[in-house]
Structure 1
Amino acid sequence: MSDTELDLAALLCSRLCHDLLSPVGAMNNGLELLADEHDPEMRKRCMDLLAESAKSAADKLKFFRLAFGAAGGFGSEVDPMEAKAVIEPLVTGDGRTALHWGVPAGLMPKKAVKVLLNLVLIAKDALVRGGELHVGAEGRENEQEIVIRATGPRIIMDQSVRDALTGALTESQIDSRTAAAWMVRGLCASNGGLVQIAAPDETQIVIGAIVR
Structure 2
Amino acid sequence: MAILFSFFNIKHNHALQVAHHTLQSHLKMMQVLSLSDMNEFVELRSVDYFAQKYPSINRTALLSYHQNAMWQMQFHLGRIYTTNSYSIYIDTPRSAQTTNFDGRPMAGDIIAKDLDRRCISGYSNTNTAVDCKNNTLTEVRLKERFGVDNILVESDGFCQERDTARIYFDSLGRPYCGRIPMPLQNVFKIILLKNAQQKHLCILPYSGLITAEC
TM-score normalised by the shorter chain: which range applies?
under 0.3
Q: Between the two structures, name the one with larger relative contact order (CA 8 Å, sep ≥ 6).
A: 2
Where is the helix percentage greater, Structure 1 or Structure 2? 1
